[in-house]
Chains A and B, each alone.
Chain A
Amino acid sequence: MNARIPILKLNEVLIVSIQWELDDQTAIQFQEDLLNKMHETAALGVVIDLTPIDFIDSFIAKVLGDVINMTGLMGAKVVITGIQPAVAITLIELGIRLNNVMTALDLENGLDKLYKELEA
């Protein structure tokens, strides 16, 4: 029931695809796993793809926001990709602004954006 979210390494970038609805425990576990993996691999960037996710509540939004700030503290950049229209609408109506977060339509654009950012 409490499966971990796989984190893949591609050169200096970590790729995460969140495939199913996040429960609280999995979200918190993911936070820790991602930071540990970054530390282990000295990754410079992370792409978190949310394409299959059909809703995000304030708790999951907080965990995501926190993980982005924590990743920043460790010197890496994060791009969030694949936010569905319904998710974007509900997040804003809920009153959640993911300010200063890099986003892209899909994984491909996200990786492009991240590489450009890392070269700059």
Chain B
Amino acid sequence: MNFRSSVEIITEWDIVAARQLGRNEAKKAGFGTVDQARITTAISELARNIYLYAGKGKIEIERVSEGGAFGIKIIASDEGPGIPDLRKVMEDGFSTSGGLGAGMPGVKRLMDEFKVSSEPGVGTIITTKKWLH
């Protein structure tokens, strides 16, 4: 049961589509309302980053299980410019777009696991998980 659903992020509307998909998946997976809100918000931040910085990319959502634990995995990938300074984007309040700079560190706090790999000129992949407690 490792099915995966995905939304291509090209326009602003796709951000809405991605978070709706995320909320539905979170609900189906059995997460409560607070975790549903966390997952939806995290997806919204990741999708917006793709839209703002890479132009286009993809949000994939997958159910995962590991040693008896069940959860949800979100993969945000793009072939954009990459993140030149990873440490900087993980600082609270750092933004190059005039936003609140809450995005990346915020997503990390909302979720249980968070991993970024980014290569300038190649793209960025962010993988983040939330476990059912």
Residues of chain B contacted by A86 (CB below 8 angstroms): 33-34, 36-38
Residues of chain A at interface, number, CB under 8 A: 23
Instruction: Give the residues in chain B near A84, CB-CB below 8 Å.
Output: 33, 37
Q: How many A-B residue pairs have CB under 8 A?
A: 81
In the complex the two chains form, what is the Cα distance from A94 to B36 in whole Å? 14
Interface residues of A (CB under 8 A from B): 1, 21, 23-25, 54-59, 61-62, 84-87, 89-90, 93-96
Chain A residues with CB under 8 Å of B93's CB are: 95
Contact with A along B14-38 (1 / 0, CB 8 A): 0110011001000000000110111
Closest to A62 in B: B100
Cβ of B44 and Cβ of A93 under 8 Å apart?
A: no
> How many residues of chain B have a CB within 8 Å of chain A?
27
Chain B residues with Cβ below 8 Å from A85 are 33-34
Q: Per a CB cutoff under 8 Å, which of A21, A56, A62, A94 touches B109?
A: A94
Chain A residues contacting B102 (CB-CB under 8 Å) are 58, 61, 94-96
Please determine whether B106 and A54 come into contact, CB atoms closer than 8 angstroms: no
B48 CB within 8 Å of chain A: yes
The listed residue (B12, B40, B99, B109) touching A54 by CB distance below 8 A is B40
> Would you list which residues of chain B between 26 and 81 have a CB under 8 Å from chain A?
33-34, 36-38, 40-41, 44-45, 48
Residues of B within 8 A of A25 (CB): 12
Q: Is the CB of B110 within 8 A of A90?
A: yes
Interface pair B48/A57, CB less than 8 Å apart: yes
Q: Does B13 reach chain A (CB closer than 8 Å)?
A: yes
Decide yes or no: A23 and B16 within 8 Å by CB, A58-B102, A90-B37 being known contacts.
yes
Q: Chain A contacts of B37 at CB under 8 A?
A: 54-55, 84, 86-87, 89-90
Chain A nearest Cβ from B9, distance in angstroms: 13
